[in-house]
Chain A
């Protein structure tokens, strides 16, 4: 394990800073079922952190703890140097955490642009009346937010579907729109729940490039859950491996790949 207070430099020369989020001895129970048992790890400024594990390992539960949707019975969540109290989802969003969902959760009837603009919602402060008549502060605010939304649209190369209703888009593009909405919030921490699920090779390659570019261009800290091992090993700087709600490995992709527990649990036991 790395020293908790200082950063490190990745193989490709990116500087990673101190911890943005720290999970300390988290235990999560649903009634009598222990979904997560005593897990600790951190996510550092500017890194791409992956959480992997077989089905039912507790990955999504972990992500929901990070996003504040679930409150663990034991343990502490520290975000940007402060212990986090239980809070509502919109409060989490305001703190600078944005996420995408495993089963796309967009507003199907709205255009791509409107969907991306909803990502800016937490940044708008003008009142409902001012927004309705669209005068004064509301107008200036909309322009400023639209500009940010447009930059994200340009970045993710979805200009051609800007005005298209989301319902008419193919799956791969919807995933990209969802990423756009999360990015529009200018998050300090971006959570991606299986960003490549159900995609073909080409779409996966595109998505991987976008994730790397987001991290490179905006310095966004990213935590992701993914099943595709190739993608995880290529993309992430550090990997947490879970099995049956426990942490069984933590480290760089190479370290994880050679960790015997991980090989046994996740990648299968080698036959002699």
Chain B
């Protein structure tokens, strides 16, 4: 790899990009946040002033170069400024997941040895105070929203605006120091440290350099033709690498505006008001939106419902082709136009997608029907494949080559390699520097030549060059008879049903597969309401015989579809159970990005798994649950275990790999 110490035109850090943006488009909007019912705007020039005041304030408080500054809260301009201010003073910003409980925060804060923590409100202040005794290096806590904090001991607690005021007051004394620190930043200095959620073990701190972030932002912006006048809505966790790249990397590279919602609950309204041109969401968000649309259409009048059904059927047939620029007959085009006027346009407007030019989904597989639904409306939704260690981008789908079953071609500058066992390796300018204080893991993941193991098994499709991912490499196993076991493949098929929120399939080293299923409360709850089925709790609804019947039908349909794939036909689900509680990150069953933690679930629900395999038709269990405030309780339940029809498996030789 060619290594340069500075980027194009000396733009080798985010603060340097900020200065360029102020010079080139100082008067255009850089940040917007809805507050008091109105979108408040900051231009690039105003943004620089805010960040500079904060940076001076941080020096004033005693931040040294190389310090770590943890940042916790929902997406707000102030917190984005905090990240850039931290970089400006030579410190390293470490965004944390805001919904993490205090114990989880204690680990990360202790691991990076954060001296300063910048948080959103009282909730986060309380969490940090709760664990501060375990943190030896922790010194100062800065909060944005003063509400409820008046009576707190303020010897180590500072209000954000006061820190800025002090910074402004000390401008003359400290500005030389700030300029000196800022000019020291180069392509190799650390841009950010992000903790991976970790499906196994403790989170690891991924160190990303300015080179990683800026190179990735540059090439990915060019790939999708992002422009200065694009708009994005920043609503995904700030601790997640994707948000960092979109809301800071690409935003500073292109100079586009980052819009922050008023609160998590108003996200959908705010999305509609902003109408972003560049949009990113995990499959779950698209699923939820589609479920909501379908629920509302069920409640709509007959005429509207028929119109919707008619034009959606037409859109499914020709919409994706029109989007891809493929030839489509004149009459079909005309009908699509009419549909756009009557159905697609208003629907896109309701969803907030009227202006979306580039939309991405990633993180999990997306159901083909969900994917096609959005594309048929004329929304350019694409898939990408990436991870924190790659600074997001490994592969992405170019316009016109979009399919639901692949994740696209290697992104610009990325080399791909498939290992003997099917694991995907990559090498790119975005490859992370190291795991902080963890040379062993770094060596395990990244070899001396810079190739990084993704941990995913996949293959490159012949002809198109697109990458297809099968499953996590470590989850791919063998069943007792030697056939291939790929749980995620089956789980994804199950999760594509709106009624099923989460599924966990077991079967490694066993003679048959079984599954845990979580119902989707909003979809099933709505169904229950429409059919006059009364229920008092999640648990009761989950165990309702009619719900069980519906889920059984879904499982059997999935079995039929799985049986069609000769390589994976052994993975049909023989028995299943609908769980009495939702799998939850607070209980450690999911990661904060909502990926299933198999080992933990296997241990925790060992009794239910045993019952799935011993042929019993019921199982009584007691499960410990953690409430949002960290308290623990337990729920008892007797669960019904059902058998699902499976198709006979023709013995297959496992394909030679």
A and B: partners? Answer: yes
- Interface, chain A (partner B; CB < 8 A): 12-13, 113, 146-147, 150-151, 153-155, 157, 159-160, 162-163, 209, 212-213, 216-217
Q: Report Cα–Cα, A100/B37, bound state, in Å.
A: 24
Flag whether B266 is at the interface (Cβ < 8 A): yes
Q: Report Cα–Cα, A216/B149, bound state, in Å.
A: 10
- Nearest to A162 among chain B residues (CB) is B37
Q: Report Cα–Cα, A159/B268, bound state, in Å.
A: 12
Q: Least Cβ distance of B350 to chain A in Å?
A: 14
B263 and A160 within 8 A (CB): yes
Q: Which residues of A contact B36 (CB under 8 A)?
A: 147, 150-151, 153-154
Q: Least Cβ distance of B640 to chain A in Å?
A: 30
B148 and A160 within 8 A (CB): no
Flag whether B177 is at the interface (Cβ < 8 A): no
Q: Which residues of B contact A153 (CB under 8 A)?
A: 36-37
- Nearest to A151 among chain B residues (CB) is B36
Q: Which residues of A contact B38 (CB under 8 A)?
A: 150
Q: A150-B36, A154-B36, A162-B37 are in contact. Are A217 and B263 (CB under 8 A)?
A: no
Q: Which residues of A contact B37 (CB under 8 A)?
A: 113, 146, 150, 153, 159, 162
Flag whether B529 is at the interface (Cβ < 8 A): no
Q: Least Cβ distance of B359 to chain A in Å?
A: 24
Q: Least Cβ distance of B121 to chain A in Å?
A: 11
Flag whether B614 is at the interface (Cβ < 8 A): no
A216 and B266 within 8 A (CB): no
- Nearest to A216 among chain B residues (CB) is B150
B151 and A159 within 8 A (CB): no
Q: Which residues of A contact B269 (CB under 8 A)?
A: 160, 163
Q: Least Cβ distance of A91 to chain B in Å?
A: 31
B151 and A213 within 8 A (CB): no
- Residue in B36, B151, B266, B269 whose Cβ sees the most chain A Cβ within 10 Å: B36
Q: Which residues of B contact A12 (CB under 8 A)?
A: 151
- Nearest to B148 among chain A residues (CB) is A213
A159 and B266 within 8 A (CB): yes
Q: Least Cβ distance of B192 to chain A in Å?
A: 30
Flag whether B602 is at the interface (Cβ < 8 A): no
Q: Which residues of B contact A213 (CB under 8 A)?
A: 147-148
Extra inter-chain contacts (10) besides given A155-B147, A217-B150, CB under 8 Å: A13-B151, A146-B37, A147-B36, A150-B37, A150-B38, A153-B37, A159-B262, A159-B263, A160-B265, A213-B148
Of the candidates B35, B147, B150, B266, which one forms a contact with A160 in the assembled complex, judged by CB atoms under 8 Å apart?
B266
Q: Which residues of B contact A113 (CB under 8 A)?
A: 37
Q: Report Cα–Cα, A157/B147, bound state, in Å.
A: 12
Q: Which residues of A contact B151 (CB under 8 A)?
A: 12-13, 216
Q: Which residues of A contact B148 (CB under 8 A)?
A: 209, 212-213, 216
Q: Least Cβ distance of B151 to chain A in Å?
A: 6
> Could you list 20 A-B pairs, sorted by A, with CB under 8 Å?
A113-B37, A150-B36, A150-B38, A153-B37, A154-B35, A154-B36, A155-B147, A157-B263, A159-B262, A159-B263, A159-B265, A160-B262, A160-B265, A160-B266, A160-B269, A163-B269, A213-B147, A216-B148, A216-B150, A217-B150
Q: Report Cα–Cα, A253/B35, bound state, in Å.
A: 39
| Chain B residue total in the interface (Cβ 8 A) | 13
Map CB proximity to A onto B33-58 as digits: 1 under 8 Å, 0 otherwise: 00111100000000000000000000
Main secondary structure of the interface of A (DSSP, over half): helix
Q: Which residues of A contact B150 (CB under 8 A)?
A: 216-217
Q: Report Cα–Cα, A160/B271, bound state, in Å.
A: 13
Q: Report Cα–Cα, A147/B36, bound state, in Å.
A: 7
Q: Which residues of B contact A209 (CB under 8 A)?
A: 148
Q: Report Cα–Cα, A213/B121, bound state, in Å.
A: 14
- Nearest to A217 among chain B residues (CB) is B147
Q: Which residues of B contact A151 (CB under 8 A)?
A: 36
Q: Least Cβ distance of A57 to chain B in Å?
A: 33
Q: Report Cα–Cα, A54/B286, bound state, in Å.
A: 53
Q: Report Cα–Cα, A218/B35, bound state, in Å.
A: 19
Q: Report Cα–Cα, A143/B126, bound state, in Å.
A: 36
Q: Mark out the residues of chain B between 218 and 252 whose CB falls within 8 Å of any chain A CB in the assembled complex.
A: none
- Nearest to B266 among chain A residues (CB) is A160
Q: Mark out the residues of chain B between 244 and 292 whose CB falls within 8 Å of any chain A CB in the assembled complex.
A: 262-263, 265-266, 269
Q: Report Cα–Cα, A113/B269, bound state, in Å.
A: 15
Q: Mark out the residues of chain B between 126 and 161 whose CB falls within 8 Å of any chain A CB in the assembled complex.
A: 147-148, 150-151
Q: Mark out the residues of chain B between 541 and 567 whose CB falls within 8 Å of any chain A CB in the assembled complex.
A: none
Q: Which residues of B contact A160 (CB under 8 A)?
A: 262-263, 265-266, 269
Q: Least Cβ distance of A241 to chain B in Å?
A: 28
Q: Least Cβ distance of B157 to chain A in Å?
A: 16
Q: Report Cα–Cα, A81/B74, bound state, in Å.
A: 47
Q: Which residues of A contact B262 (CB under 8 A)?
A: 159-160
Q: Report Cα–Cα, A225/B265, bound state, in Å.
A: 32
Q: Report Cα–Cα, A133/B490, bound state, in Å.
A: 63
Q: Which residues of A contact B147 (CB under 8 A)?
A: 155, 213, 217
Q: Report Cα–Cα, A159/B37, bound state, in Å.
A: 8
Q: Report Cα–Cα, A159/B266, bound state, in Å.
A: 7
- Nearest to B262 among chain A residues (CB) is A159
Q: Which residues of B contact A163 (CB under 8 A)?
A: 269
Q: Which residues of B contact A157 (CB under 8 A)?
A: 263
Q: Which residues of B contact A155 (CB under 8 A)?
A: 147
Q: Least Cβ distance of B39 to chain A in Å?
A: 12
Q: Which residues of B contact A146 (CB under 8 A)?
A: 37
Q: Report Cα–Cα, A163/B270, bound state, in Å.
A: 13
Q: Least Cβ distance of B74 to chain A in Å?
A: 13
Q: Report Cα–Cα, A155/B354, bound state, in Å.
A: 32
Q: Report Cα–Cα, A13/B151, bound state, in Å.
A: 8
Q: Mark out the residues of chain B between 184 and 210 whose CB falls within 8 Å of any chain A CB in the assembled complex.
A: none
Q: Report Cα–Cα, A91/B262, bound state, in Å.
A: 37
- Residue in B37, B262, B266 whose Cβ sees the most chain A Cβ within 10 Å: B37
A-B pairs, top 7 by smallest CB distance, nearest first, are A160-B265, A150-B36, A150-B37, A160-B266, A159-B262, A159-B266, A159-B263
Q: Which residues of B contact A159 (CB under 8 A)?
A: 37, 262-263, 265-266
Q: Which residues of A contact B35 (CB under 8 A)?
A: 154
Q: Least Cβ distance of A185 to chain B in Å?
A: 18
Q: Report Cα–Cα, A29/B36, bound state, in Å.
A: 46
Q: Which residues of B contact A147 (CB under 8 A)?
A: 36
Q: Report Cα–Cα, A113/B150, bound state, in Å.
A: 28
Q: Report Cα–Cα, A157/B38, bound state, in Å.
A: 15
Q: Least Cβ distance of A133 to chain B in Å?
A: 23
Q: Least Cβ distance of B138 to chain A in Å?
A: 26
Q: Report Cα–Cα, A153/B263, bound state, in Å.
A: 12
- Nearest to A161 among chain B residues (CB) is B265
Q: Mark out the residues of chain B between 78 and 93 whose CB falls within 8 Å of any chain A CB in the assembled complex.
A: none
- Nearest to A212 among chain B residues (CB) is B148
Q: Report Cα–Cα, A232/B262, bound state, in Å.
A: 33
- Nearest to B265 among chain A residues (CB) is A160
Q: Report Cα–Cα, A183/B402, bound state, in Å.
A: 53
- Residue in A150, A159, A163 whose Cβ sees the most chain B Cβ within 10 Å: A159
Q: Least Cβ distance of B270 to chain A in Å?
A: 10
Q: Which residues of A contact B263 (CB under 8 A)?
A: 157, 159-160
Q: Least Cβ distance of B40 to chain A in Å?
A: 12
Q: Least Cβ distance of A217 to chain B in Å?
A: 7
Q: Which residues of B contact A216 (CB under 8 A)?
A: 148, 150-151
